[in-house]
Amino acid sequence: MSNFSKENELSHLFRSEYTKMTAVLCRHFGLVNLEIAEDIVSDAFLKAAEYWGVNGIPDNPAAWLYTVAKNKAKDFIKRDTLFQSKRNTIKELSESFIASDSLIERQYIADSVLAMMFAVCDSHNSPESQICLALQILSGFSVEELAQAFLTKTETIKKRLYRARNNLRKIKFRINELNEQEIKARSETVLKVLYLLYNEGYYSKSNSQIIRKDLCAEAIRLALLLLENQITNTAQANALMALMCYQSSRLDARMNEHGEPLRFDEQDRERWDSSLIERGHYYMLEACHGNEMSSYHLEASIAYWHTTLHKEKWNNILDLYDQLLQLAPTPPRTLNRFFAYGKVYGHEKAIEELEKTGLTQHEGWHELLGYLYASINKDRAIEHYQKAINKKQSPAAKEQLMKEIIRLRAKLPILRAPK
């Protein structure tokens, strides 16, 4: 296997197994020793990079990593004076850990990750800190990615993460102590974490790739853990899963053969995944048991209508956006509403109404105006696309807008000098 393939395999394993391994260790050591667990897991991956580079990837690389992590944890427990203060904290757990053979059992890992999800969403931290910490620990978000997701500075995120970790250390919280009442109280935050994670994968604001399928898959994997547990299998969790299935059905169609992103109108419906749409229908029906109506229900309904060819499709989407903005208004949802508004009432009317909203500072403002003007006034469209480029952080997003400008310029009439 080439070095490139080995790096890809290790990168994939890091995304899929790092969280699980950390959760399993924290289940034994407690969140007070989160940094220790992270260091042990990081060391296991470092050893994999060195060992696999010489000896090749083993038949069961995940099991290999868990074995190395367990052995490193045993070594840590047995060390003497250098880590004596830390050792006292976990001494009572060492015997059960060393004797345990369950570390790589699927259900044990799943339960540990589920417990970790709810443990890091502790009320001793602010909701923003809970979400930041969960995205970092559960999904490996960098400080820069978190800053983009929260539209804030990296220094603010660093301070938020430091305080959150410090609070968990102070209360010495253990991830296997949650009761049903605590789980229900934290469910909203956990769902928001998965929602943000999926959104970063579906349209990345901070990466060199606009679409990050690995993050979408990770969000779905974690959401499935919720649905497999009786307490966390709620209407909102099913609605969120329905939303992710509907959106994921179009992931392949959102890129052309050159890896360039395509707008909704340009997508080939033949490339949509009908099996994911069907799964979305299943979870949507599960979400409709009872009278609950959350923002996830409304967004899933919007995503559902995007998969249809119904003649009233855009009218229904616009109506759902109106309901969503009443329930949970945000600038991105407002801008998305005007995309649907333009489909129903025309681009000129949409531009007229959009310019009344005062969202000029939002990064999507000029991009949407560029799209709306493209069929009306190409010069104005180019002007807005150029302004949109200045507000984008993602290199891939900038490149996409530049290509839109090039395409529009090619359609402009050639001005000839007078004779």
Q: Mean pLDDT over residues 320-330, rounded? A: 95
First to last CA, the chain: 66
Q: Report the pLDDT averaged over residues 287-312.
A: 93
* pLDDT at residue 343 greater than cutoff 70: yes
pLDDT category at 418 given cuts 50, 70, 90 is: very low
- The letter for the amino acid at 312 is E
| Residues shown for the chain | 419
Q: Does the residue 300 lie in any domain?
A: no
Residues with Cβ within 8 Å of 311's Cβ and at least 6 positions away in sequence, in order, are none
Q: Ranked by mean pLDDT, which of 93-97, 167-171, 307-311, 343-347 comes out on top? A: 343-347
Q: Does 45 have pLDDT greater than 60? A: yes
pLDDT digits (tens, 9 = 90+) for 119-167: 788 777 887 888 888 888 877 788 888 887 776 889 999 999 988 888 8
Q: In which domain, by residue range, is 326 found? A: 320-414
Q: Are 18 and 112 in contact (CB under 8 A)?
A: no
* Residue 261: strand pairing partners: 255
Which pLDDT belongs to residue 324?
Answer: 97
For residue 333, the domain's CATH number is 1.25.40.10
Residue 321 reports pLDDT greater than 90: yes
More confident position, 338 or 87: 338
CA 30 – CA 24 distance, rounded (Å): 10
What is the structure's pLDDT at 129?
85
The model's confidence at residue 28, banded by pLDDT at 50, 70 and 90, is low
Taking 50 as the threshold, does the pLDDT of residue 179 lie above it? yes
pLDDT one-digit tens code per residue, 215-235 = 888 889 889 989 988 888 999
Instruction: Tell whether 365 is covered by a domain.
Output: yes
Q: Is the pLDDT of residue 78 over 60?
A: yes
Of the chain, the percentage scoring pLDDT greater than 90 comes to: 33
Taking residues 286-304, report their average pLDDT: 94
Asked if 18 and 45 touch (Cβ cutoff 8 Å), the reply is yes
Out of 40, 71, 104, pick the residue that ends a domain: 104
Residue 81: per-residue pLDDT = 42
Between residues 111 and 256, which one has the greater pLDDT? 256
Residue the block writes with tokens 């001793």:
124
Residue 419 lies in a domain: no
Number of independent structural domains in the chain? 2
Q: Is the pLDDT of residue 82 over 50?
A: no
- Which pLDDT belongs to residue 93? 45
Listed residues 71, 104, 137: the one ending a domain:
104
Q: Has residue 357 been placed in a domain?
A: yes
Among residues 159, 290, 145, which one has the least CA distance to residue 209?
Answer: 145
Asked if residue 374 belongs to a domain, the reply is yes
* Residue-level pLDDT at 199: 87
Judge whether 118 lies within some domain. Answer: no
pLDDT digits (tens, 9 = 90+) for 380-411: 999 999 999 998 877 778 888 998 999 899 88
Q: Which of 87-91, 315-319, 335-339 has the lowest mean pLDDT?
A: 87-91
Model confidence at 416, pLDDT cuts 50, 70, 90, reads very low
Q: Average pLDDT of 335-348? A: 96
Query: End of a domain among 69, 104, 139?
Result: 104
Instruction: Tell me the pLDDT of the chain averaged across its residues.
Output: 82
b/e map of 203-237 (b: 16 or more CB within 10 Å)? bbbbbebbbbeebbbbbbebbebbbeeeebebbbb
| Confidence category of residue 92, pLDDT binned at 50, 70, 90 | very low
Q: Is residue 148 part of a domain?
A: no
Does a structural domain hold residue 310?
Answer: no
Confidence at residue 214, expressed as pLDDT on a 0 to 100 scale: 78
Indicate the angle between helix axes 84-99 and 61-78, nearest 10 degrees: 130
The single residue listed with the structure tokens 């949802």 is 333
Task: Encode pLDDT of 185-212 as tens digits.
Answer: 888 888 998 998 888 888 876 656 777 8
Q: What is the pLDDT of residue 307?
A: 93
Using the predicted structure, report yes or no on whether residue 252 has a pLDDT greater than 60.
yes
In this structure, which long-range contacts are made by residues 15-19, counting pairs with CB atoms below 8 Å and at least 24 apart in sequence?
15/140, 15/214, 15/218, 16/62, 16/218, 16/221, 17/62, 17/65, 17/66, 18/45, 18/140, 19/113, 19/116, 19/137, 19/138, 19/139, 19/140
